[in-house]
Amino acid sequence: MIVMKFGGSSVESAAAIDRVAAIVKSRLERHPVVVVSAMGKTTNRLLALARQAVEGGRAAALADLAALKQYTLAEGGPVGGAVEAHFRELAELVQGLSVLGELTPRSIDAISAYGERLSSLIVAERFRAAGLDAVQADSRDYVITDGRHTQAAPLYPETYELLSARLAPIARERVVVVGGFIGSTAAGVTTTLGRGGSDFSASIIGAGLDAEEIQIWTDVDGMLTCDPRIAEVGHRVKIISFGEAAELAYFGAKVLHPSTVLPAVEKNIPVLILNSRRPEVEGTRIVAETVACGNAFKAIACKQGIVSVHIRSLRMLMAHGFLRRIFEVFDRYTTPVDMVTTSEVSVSLTIDTVQNLDPILTELREFADVAVEQDQAIVCMVGDNIGTTRGIAGRVFQAMNGINIRMISQGASNLNLSFVIAGRDLKHAVELLHQAFFSDLDPAVFDPKGSAAA
């Protein structure tokens, strides 16, 4: 049994869904379970009209909902009364939000979940039209979570038991289509796993079914040695370890959701990144074991829009409890920190969200001098060979050719070497690093033909 997850761009239209049906049909002997994201930008549209409704724009929200319905039906084709019923429920929810005048986390989950609920219905129907014996299953019946709305965590024992006992028997006989991203509490209240959570759903379902493989189908040929949106010089990575993939995902690689690998790692299930528009390409295989490689690094990841915060103790030396006080402030405002460098009296760190920056700075300035740098970028060099390659940091910074480096950090995992530069220097830095470290490629790990332009 395999799990095949298809992202929003892979199911954005009737033609795209028919393409997916052909891919699934070619793997029927492996008993595929198909996990789908919402069609195109449906989730964004649902959240936008929900915000309209609570801000007093009920008529505009209902008009936008009607337009979304027209798009959904046009791309999905005739799918019976189920889709119509879903849109009636959505209209009632929008009207309720307009009366309430507040968009709570629970309401956000309720409305955003309709994207995947609709797409799974439509994909299952088009599969049947294509000759597949397909059935839609509601992931809320199988993925049980806690009650943290918009960022729910799965309750693994309960979820795995349901998947094994109830979904696996169906999947052995038919092609099951489920919506990713969503689950429910034990009481049956709809929850979501966070944006990008359909990858996570696929991994959870794969682990619960003891799948032989989890396939993430997207619109790129796999993981590349650098982000093509920054520099179009990358090559496809054929195989990479779970640890390296997780570092790349956390530091900006958009192909994979950072949490995706966790259930797969526990069950030692390989994860493949594949292109639904080019199914003949082998993609990227993510495996548990370390992957031997002749290159020092596997890939370069980047995060843009970073803010650097430089904090210096007012007490200067022997500032007991200084670090604790700093991180308590960030914890109170639920603001995660990406990188940290420290000395006895000063701390520099980076964050990628500025939503609570002003109150954070106000509290920090009660006990420290604080300086802020906006529009920074993190460059993260990832590879299993970092800890064993002599002089690797020197080679990296020499390749930067005069670009000013604000912060430096080598990850505790010994899999990444990261540094902060000005955002305006990012493209040039990535091009220089790529030229220095990916000109001569290990053919067992990289495909030089699998470039960003492919």
CATH of the domain at 171: 3.40.1160.10
pLDDT tens readout for residues 172-193: 999 999 999 999 999 999 999 9
pLDDT at 452 over 70: no
Using an 8 Å Cβ cutoff, are 415 and 243 in contact? yes
Could you tell me if 309 and 202 lie in one domain?
A: no
Angstrom distances, CA of residue 327 to CA of 169, 180, 310, 335, 384 = 48, 34, 13, 10, 30
pLDDT tens readout for residues 149-171: 999 999 999 999 999 999 999 99
Average the pLDDT over 315-340 and give the result: 84
Residue where a domain stops, chosen among 180, 199, 219: 219
Could you tell me if 183 and 84 lie in one domain?
A: yes
Could you tell me if 194 and 332 lie in one domain?
A: no
Write the DSSP symbol of residue 224.
Answer: B
The secondary structure of 380-430 as a DSSP string is: EEE-TTGGGSTTHHHHHHHHTTT----EEEE-TTSSEEEEEEEGGGHHHHH
pLDDT tens readout for residues 349-385: 999 989 999 999 999 999 999 999 999 999 999 998 8
Could you tell me if 22 and 135 lie in one domain?
A: yes
Q: Percent of the chain at pLDDT above 90? A: 74
pLDDT tens readout for residues 62-119: 999 999 999 888 876 666 688 889 999 999 999 999 999 999 999 999 999 999 999 9
Residue 244 belongs to some domain of the structure: no
CATH number at 370 reads: 3.30.2130.10
Residue 30 belongs to some domain of the structure: yes
Residue where a domain stops, chosen among 173, 188, 219: 219
Could you tell me if 212 and 304 lie in one domain?
A: no
Residue 140 belongs to some domain of the structure: yes
Angstrom distances, CA of residue 446 to CA of 282, 297, 430, 434 = 11, 11, 18, 13
- How many domains are there within the chain? 2
Could you tell me if 331 and 208 lie in one domain?
A: no
Instruction: Return the higher-pLDDT residue of 449 and 38.
Output: 38
Residue 287 belongs to some domain of the structure: no
Residue 248 belongs to some domain of the structure: no
Beta partners for residue 272, in sequence order: 215, 285
pLDDT at 454 over 50: no
Could you tell me if 330 and 203 lie in one domain?
A: no
Could you tell me if 46 and 187 lie in one domain?
A: yes
pLDDT at 449 over 70: no
Residue 288 belongs to some domain of the structure: no
Could you tell me if 124 and 22 lie in one domain?
A: yes
Name residues whose C-beta falls within 8 Å of residue 331's C-beta, 6 or more positions apart in sequence: none
Could you tell me if 325 and 189 lie in one domain?
A: no
Residue 275 belongs to some domain of the structure: no
Q: Which pLDDT band, with edges at 50, 70 and 90, does 388 fall under?
A: confident
pTM of the model: 0.85
Using an 8 Å Cβ cutoff, are 270 and 316 in contact? no
Residue 294 belongs to some domain of the structure: no
Residue where a domain stops, chosen among 172, 195, 219: 219
Could you tell me if 208 and 303 lie in one domain?
A: no
| Residue 198 parent element (H or E) | helix 197-208
End-to-end CA distance of the chain: 30
Using an 8 Å Cβ cutoff, are 227 and 253 in contact? yes
Sheet with strand 416-422: strands edge to edge:
340-342, 346-351, 299-313, 368-382, 416-422, 407-410
Mean predicted lDDT score pLDDT of the chain: 91
Could you tell me if 11 and 160 lie in one domain?
A: yes
| Structural domain for 430, as ranges | 299-447
